Structure 1
Amino acid sequence: MRIGIVVDSACDLPAEFIHRHRLVLLPITVRIGEAVQADHRDEAATLAFLRDHVAERGAEAETLPFGVDQIRALFLQHLVIDYDHVFCLTITRTRSPIHDNALQASFAILNEYRPIRQAAGHSSPFALRVLDTQNLFAAQAVTAVEAVRMREAGASVARMRERLEELAGSVHGYMVTRDLYYMRARARHKGDRSVGLVAATLGSALDIKPVLHGHRGQTAPVAKIKGFDNAVQRLFDFARRRVAGGLLTPVLCMSYGGPLEELRALPGYAALRGTCQAHGITLLESVMSLTGMVNVGKGAVTLGFADADHVFDG
């Protein structure tokens, strides 16, 4: 059976990984004033857009995910012919309409695919599963990597569906941002009051950086640490301990809102990479998506891994 895997461009995976494993992308378009960029996970294009637009006016950006009709057209024009079963893995539905758009589109796709497949010479049925990864950015990528691993291992569709649905609730995402003022401005633009003025002002004045934890569709601060480098190092040290204790899948995903050379120079990065290597954990790192950067600001660090429930003790 030909199994397809679809992700949206907020899923922070390296472009090389996406191309090598034939992942299909639902691009998210970012518009800042007159500048428009569709995010196709092209790292050079993302960094150029960051330099030219995001740094100055990113908080005012509009993000335009694929709508119902665009998703329907993508499937009916290509995917119902190229594959027999597709897993569509989306960013958490609590932060984006992509999941609901894909779910709504799936009803039309499953009603309309038959004559298209038959014209292409396929008499077998087509099936589609839309799955909420319940997380963001690098953490969203963990479920996609497991889908790739299972497909390449020859797992059945039923086993993949069961495993991926179970795994989504076990993925933990963490993030440290550089600029709370930016996050507050972005939140105000979107009508989101999750970052208050007092918290942003005090945090920036005192150089306090929150460590944010994403799990099962919810995001909340789990620590407040003085200094960005210090916060990142403590997050990396915590991740090392979780890796050493044993993860549920053999991957840790990371993303950074800027050039990866800056990520690799952060304190604690080299030690985390060494711990991953020592325990057989693949470390996948990528430039953060445009969607991620306009929402959390340049220079943010995110990481994700699948693990049992735990408490951040960094």
Structure 2
Amino acid sequence: MRMGLTIDASCDLPQDFLQQHRIMVMPVTIKVDGETFTDNREPSEVQRFIDRQLGSRSHSAETEPTTAEEVQELFLGRLVLEQDCVFSLTVTATRSPIYDNVTRASFAVLRNYREVREQAGIPGQFMMRVIDTRNLFAGTAPVVWEAARLIAADMPPAAIRERLNHVASHGYGYLMPRDLYYLRARAKKKNDRSVGLVSAMLGSALDIKPILRCFRGETGPVGKARGFEQGAQQLFDYAAARVRAGLIVPMVCVSYGGDLAVLSQLPGYDRLRAACEECSVALLEAPMSITGMVNVGEGAVALGLAAEEHEAVF
């Protein structure tokens, strides 16, 4: 059986990983200051966004995720011909409409694919499975990584779906923003009250940075640090400890809203890298999507892993 994967653009993974596993990216259109960017995880487009130095004012950007009609067109025009089963993985439904869009599209795809395949002389049924990763940015990576592994191992679709839902319910996504004023401005734009003005003012005055977590679709602060670098160190030390304690999926993904070379310069990152090497855990580094930078600001760090349920201590 031919099986494939799609993700939406805000799922942070390295480009070479996406190419290796032939993962299709559903784009997000972003309009800011009269310019339009297509967020499809292409490195050149990400670099264009960074080079234009839009990070400080893109909190007012308009984002347009792939619509149900566009998803339907993509599947009926291409994927039902190229694959027999496609797993479509999205960021958490609690923060984006893309899951609902893909789910709505799936009904039309499964209703109409037979005629398309018959006209092309392709026998057999087509399956489409939509999975909510229940996470954001780098936090989606463990589910995608596991899906690629299971497809490569030619596991049955039912077993893959069950496993992916299990990994999604044990995925931990973390975020360290640099600029709380930016984060608040973006939250206000989206009518999100999770970052208040008082918190932003206090954080900027004292250089206190929150450590935010997404777990099972719920987001909120789980720690704080005096300064961005101290926060990064706390986050990387936590991840190194989880690696040594054992992960459900043997990988950690770290994304950065800017030049990836900055990661190796942050305190604690060398210890995380050493822990991954010691425990044979893959450490993936990815540029944060344009969508991610628009929502949380340039210079932010995101980290994702899947582990047994635990309380993080920062």
TM range, normalised to the smaller chain?
over 0.9
2:76 aligned with 1:76: yes
Q: Does the CA contact (< 8 Å) of 1:88 and 1:131 recur in 2?
A: yes
Shift of 1:166: 1.2
Residue number in structure 2 paired with 1:45 = 45
Unaligned runs of 5+ in 1: none
After TM superposition, give the deviation of residue 192 of structure 1 in Å: 1.1
Cα drift, residue 47 of structure 1 = 2.3
Distance 2:50 2:226 in 1: 26
How many Å apart are 1:39 and its aligned residue?
Answer: 1.1
Residue correspondence of structure 1 range 9-158 to structure 2 within 5 A: 9-158=9-158
The alpha carbon displacement at 1:100 in A equals 0.1
Aligned residues: 314
Residue 292 (1) aligns with residue 292 (2): yes
SS in 1 for 2:41: coil
CA distance in 1, matches of 2:256, 2:42: 14
**How much does 1:44 deviate?**
3.2
Encode CA deviations 1:104-123: one digit per residue, 9 max, x unaligned. Answer: 01111111111100111112
Residue type of the partner of 1:170? H
Q: Following TM superposition, by how much is the alpha carbon of 1:294 offset from its aligned partner in structure 2, in angstroms?
A: 0.4
Distance (whole Å) between structure 2 residues aligned to residue 191 and residue 215 of structure 1: 21
Equivalent residues of 1:187, 1:195 under 8 A apart: yes
Contact 1:32–1:53 (Cα < 8 Å) also in 2: no
TM-score (norm 1): 0.98
> What is the alpha-carbon distance in structure 1 between the residues aligned to residue 67 and residue 266 of structure 2?
38
Quote the residue 1:274 is aligned against: 274
Q: Partner residue of 1:307?
A: 307
State the match for 1:260 in structure 2. 260
Q: What is the Cα deviation at residue 162 of structure 1?
A: 0.8
TM-score normalised to structure 2 length:
0.98
CA deviation after TM superposition for structure 1 residue 53, in Å: 4.6
Alpha-carbon distance between aligned partners in 2 of 1:224 and 1:250, rounded to the nearest angstrom = 27
Report if aligned partners of 2:88, 2:129 keep a CA contact under 8 Å in 1: yes
Give the conservation status (yes or no) of the 8 Å contact 1:248–1:308: yes
In structure 2, distance between residues paired with 1:241 and 1:171: 16
Q: Trace 1:171-182 onto structure 2 (pairs within 5 A).
A: 171-182=171-182
RMSD of aligned Cα (Å): 0.9
Instruction: Say whether residues 1:235 and 2:227 are aligned partners.
Output: no
